[in-house]
Copies of this chain bind each other. A is one copy, B any other.
Amino acid sequence: MKVQKFSLSDAKLERSPGQDADIFVGNLVDERHGGPVTIGYGRYAPNQSLTETMAVHDTMIILQGRLSVSTADGTVTAGPGDIVYMPKGESVTIATEGEGALTAYVTYPHWAEAHEG
């Protein structure tokens, strides 16, 4: 794969698998492209919540809005320009309040393969 530049408009956002909240993700780079990481954008509507045990190491960069990530150790809240690192194996609840949030994410290894496996 070559150097590529992506914008939000390049992503096809679809409801994140295995949950029915208004949380939508769109991969731009993934297992189809031969590299080691999955890259995409995520959009969280206001007042949504998603609880998950991380199947991959996931780095989220908050581009707009605000979200919180809660674990057994506590809750962090992140806004524009902040980074949240969620290592594989951690149990997290990602939640939005009134603003919702737009994120970019990079996972290692590929997210779809880890979920299917």
| Chain A residues within 8 Å of B, Cβ to Cβ | 1-8, 28-29, 35-37, 39, 41, 57, 59, 61, 63-64, 69, 71, 73, 76-78, 80-87, 90, 92, 102, 104, 106, 108
In whole Å, how far is A103's beta carbon from the nearest beta carbon of chain B? 10
With A83-B5, A83-B28, A90-B2 already in contact, the answer to whether A37 and B63 are too (CB < 8 A) is: no
A37:B108 contact, CB within 8 angstroms? yes
For A104, what are the chain B residues with a Cβ–Cβ distance below 8 Å?
61, 81, 83
Which 3 A-B residue pairings sit nearest by Cβ, starting from the closest? A5-B76, A106-B106, A6-B83
Most B-side CB within 10 Å, residue of A73, A82, A83: A83
Q: B residues within 8 A CB of A4?
A: 76, 84-85
